[in-house]
Structure 1
């Protein structure tokens, strides 16, 4: 028997097995799921408002451009990680751009996560108010006291966990809730659309609302903080496989978000709220029970997400402080005080600045720095072609454009609040 005949047969898995079979740790599907889970959250609730602000055509273009910009940024991070063999975003920035740039990145991430907690506190109380209104219960006068009690007796004790393993099922629940909302919007669309005229649809509307719309679109695609770590956990961490995973995440999330944006806006037109879960049903539509269930799901998702971000923010603060005092372990008292500072600080800001649009446009503007600017700088250093290279110039200009527009969006939203 020849040596060729003695070789075992290698059975390749079918498409159905690869797609629907058991999800193995480090597989392509596992990486895709992790990336989607880290980015698909309640930030998508404001997507219909983008179409209301600028019209259907520019709104969809903004969503696609933001997603494409995020994809380019992710691929830039993956290239640098593959080249340097460093799979921590801040560690990668430290190695390529230096200690100063790394510290600035960590400060920005802490600031970003803190204001995400602020934003989720605002969404939570708005969603609770909308949920209780379905049962004719008004709590507007007491909502600040309710949030204080909710923070003290629910969020604070549960956020004292030192590890994230207790929240491992959050990702699946969060994705399921967003998909449920998407299905509800599609199913209910005929009932809402029957009260609207096609002539009332805004196809193109370019004014000052373009800038906050851009910030909201950018904020919907938050992928970058985990991409390098996910890259390192793949069984075959080749650059080609990671870029393939990035592309699939891009396609899946864009498709779901476009459905939410289009069906959410066309259902309500001029009555489109900041968050689609706040929608008011038409008079002839006697029951909005499906959306009421969706609101309840969102409240639970937000509760788990705030705990997750509080733990992440605390870990980031401890990690940053260890670079100055060389102490990686902190006392139990320090652990509790940092947790209290994050949660009660976020609650105070959410009460002082209840305008959700200002918070979310600020998050979009902050996100552009570590989603576009830092990846662009990594790409320039990685290519070694210098600042004069056409490709590098294009990447830098794209990053600068998104950052400037998003920054103007924050100012515009703050002026509107006044």
Structure 2
């Protein structure tokens, strides 16, 4: 016979439910079905035992390794576009905006952790389902899908622009030829079919986990090279007047010009840093930054695996990870900008081809970054396929045909996007102005408002009002960014910028 007082105390959360006591508790979402086999890599469990609630799960990942994992989730191709963003905002405005986006990302992770702690949810899509039912789940899944498609597109765009330069350097060709192996579009298709697709067809994600550490190491190597090259590349850059390309051997620059020859020295751009500036390309700044800080779909899986997990401990993990990436982002943007100033392109690594195409260090950076992004694409494809499975085939058993078909269709669409996109700036802009604000600003706030019980925090309580303002800020950012980008495209401003 149950004690009514004890039952009421359990329902209020004042004591634990004793063994054998019946009660209505929100069931833990099941992740054991065939349709969720890929998800199991993120959600380890002890076979043969009853699943534990998320907040009680005994993770095995250390504090330091969790920081490493979340830092790697944050770090991505967005770092290559930040120098361009600084060139179109100025150093002070860029620093202010970068700081604001980093702090807002930290706050949104705080909202996610509070929401997940209440309901015991360990996946972003499931949090949306708990808050708004099927529409919330679909909205989160669509946003994650768009974000990851944008990430994969940016990775393959790097392959399209950098791999021909690597081949040209290895073949010691001074000029780019029209051969098929020098065409970035062909190379993207070949790399996708021969390397990315076989890796993406693996059934479990765990086999690809080793690439995450290598990817982060490559970006650290990239940052060190950007800082080093700042003191090696002169300003202004010398120009070859016959073909309008920058002279490759910058160590041989002199004041001598050839009056009766073809080559003479011209000044390209200014060499003074701007503290504050606004132009048509400034509209891309916040989307690029938002794109660079999106890690929110990975926060809950990392929280699940954290040893001695608590909301406070996971918040510390996120704070340190964002702080580390904030410093890396600012350093890469600052030294990249101070190297090329107004001549920096929307993809920083490609800018070095104008002065250091045959430089061994830059070649090593290119090869490292290319290897990292190629091996990262299959990892990013897994959650996209999982989201599609949740949206369209939730109650279906695992099928190799469907597993393969989704990967092939996704890679085909992404290849078409990369082939026909004029610059990487458009990918950063559109994805950063749509899915990124949803994942960083809007969804964490509205999920929190819906999930947090009114008896703990009334609708007009300061935390919920602050969350509502946070969601409104995300909507404002999205509308403003999209409006400015569309205006820039309509006036033709985006066609020339950042073009290669």
Normalising by structure 2, report the TM-score. Answer: 0.73
C-alpha displacement at 1:174, in angstroms? 0.7
- Corresponding position of 1:10: none
Among 440, 444, 450, which residue is 1:371 paired with?
440
- Following superposition, the deviation at residue 133 of structure 1 comes to 4.1
Asked whether 1:255 is paired with 2:290, we answer no
Correspondence for 2:211: 170
| Root mean square deviation of aligned Cα | 2.3
- Kindly indicate whether residue 278 of structure 2 is the aligned counterpart of residue 203 of structure 1: no
5 Å matches for 1:144-155? 144-155=185-196
Structure 1 partner of 2:137: 102
Deviations along 1:176-218, whole A, 9 cap, x unmatched? 0000011111112112255489862122111232211111111
Q: Quick one: distance in 1 between partners of 2:77 and 2:387?
A: 22
Equivalent residue in structure 2 for 1:138, among 153, 176, 193: 176
Q: Secondary structure at the match of 1:192?
A: coil
Q: Structure 2 unaligned runs (5+)?
A: 1-58, 238-268, 496-500
Pairing 1:265-284 to 2, within 5 Å after superposition: 265-280=337-352
**Residues 1:72 and 2:102 aligned together:** no
Distance in 2, matches of 1:387 and 1:404, equals: 26
1:269-418 pair list within 5 angstroms = 269-280=341-352, 288-323=359-394, 326-327=395-396, 329-365=397-433, 366-381=435-450, 382=452, 384-386=457-459, 389=462, 390-412=465-487, 414-415=489-490, 416-417=493-494
List runs of 5+ in structure 1 lacking aligned partners: 1-23
Who is 1:16 aligned against?
none
Q: CA–CA distance in 2 between the matches of 1:289 and 1:78?
A: 45
Which of 100, 107, 127 is matched with 1:92 structurally? 127
Give CA deviations for 1:151-188 in whole Å, capped at 9, x if unaligned.
22222222211111121111110110000011111112
Bigger Cα displacement from structure 2, 249-258 vs 147-156: 147-156
Residues 56/339 of structure 1: CA separation in 2 closer, same or farther (3 Å cut): same
Give distance in 1, aligned partners of 2:314 and 2:340: 39
Once residues 71 and 209 of structure 2 are traced to their aligned partners in structure 1, the CA distance between those partners, rounded to angstroms, is 14
Could you tell which deviates more after superposition, 174-183 or 408-417? 408-417
Equivalent residue number for residue 26 of structure 2: none
2:345 alignment partner, SS class: coil
How many Å separate the matches in 2 of 1:248 and 1:370? Answer: 20
8 Å Cα contact 1:31/1:234 also seen in 2: yes
Match of 1:115 in 2: 150
Q: CA deviation at 1:412?
A: 4.4
Q: Residues 43 and 139 from structure 1, CA distance in 2 versus in 1: closer, same or farther, beyond 3 angstroms?
A: farther
Match of residue 17 from structure 1 = none
Distance 1:316 1:391, change over 3 A: closer
Give the distance between the partners of 1:414 and 1:25, measured in 2 at CA.
49
- Distance in 2, matches of 1:65 and 1:267, equals 25
CA separation of 1:198 and 1:368: change in aligned 2, threshold 3 A: same
How far residue 310 of structure 1 moved from its aligned partner, in angstroms, is: 2.2
Q: Distance in 2 between matches of 1:244 and 1:178?
A: 23
